[in-house]
């Protein structure tokens, strides 16, 4: 079964109604991955450019789950610990398909 990607970019309306007006990023907090030099080397990522699109495939487990109410709103927070990761530059479509469907 193919996984459908969901665009998580925040709209202007999202930014306006959220409790944190100081957060101007287009994407919600916690959705940025930062890879250090040893990890970049291990993944064989090589040289990339800022704003270059890459494909990411990962296996993770839920490391924590929290559910509570704030100001009458239900809020949930899920933390995922990535255990396996593949990052491919945009032109690696054949490798991306192979990586996505390997178990």
> Residue 57 corresponds to which tokens in the numbers above?
């495939």
Would you call 45 exposed, middle or buried from its count of C-beta atoms within 10 A (0-12, 13-18, 19+)? middle
The SS3 call for residue 58 is: strand
Q: Please report the pLDDT score of residue 25 as a whole number.
A: 79
Q: Please report the pLDDT score of residue 21 as a whole number.
A: 53
> pTM for this one?
0.67
Please, which residues have CB within 8 angstroms of residue 53's CB and are 6 or more apart in sequence?
90
Write out 67-103 in H/E/C secondary structure. EEEECCEEEEEEEEEEEEEEEEECCCHHHHHHHHHCC
Q: Is the pLDDT of residue 14 over 70?
A: yes
Q: Please report the pLDDT score of residue 102 as a whole number.
A: 56
User: Tens of pLDDT along 47-91?
Assistant: 889 999 999 999 999 999 999 998 888 889 899 999 999 999 877
Q: Please report the pLDDT score of residue 41 as a whole number.
A: 92
């Amino acid at each position: 079964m193919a996984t459908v990607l969901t665009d998580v970019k925040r709209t202007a309306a999202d930014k306006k109604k959220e409790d944190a007006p100081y957060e101007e990023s287009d994407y919600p907090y916690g959705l940025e991955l930062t890879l250090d030099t040893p990890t970049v080397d291990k993944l064989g990522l090589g040289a990339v450019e800022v704003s270059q699109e890459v494909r990411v495939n990962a296996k993770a487990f839920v490391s924590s789950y929290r559910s509570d109410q704030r100001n009458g709103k239900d809020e949930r927070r899920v933390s995922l610990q990535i255990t396996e990761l593949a990052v491919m530059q945009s032109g690696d479509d054949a490798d991306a398909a192979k990586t996505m469907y390997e178990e």
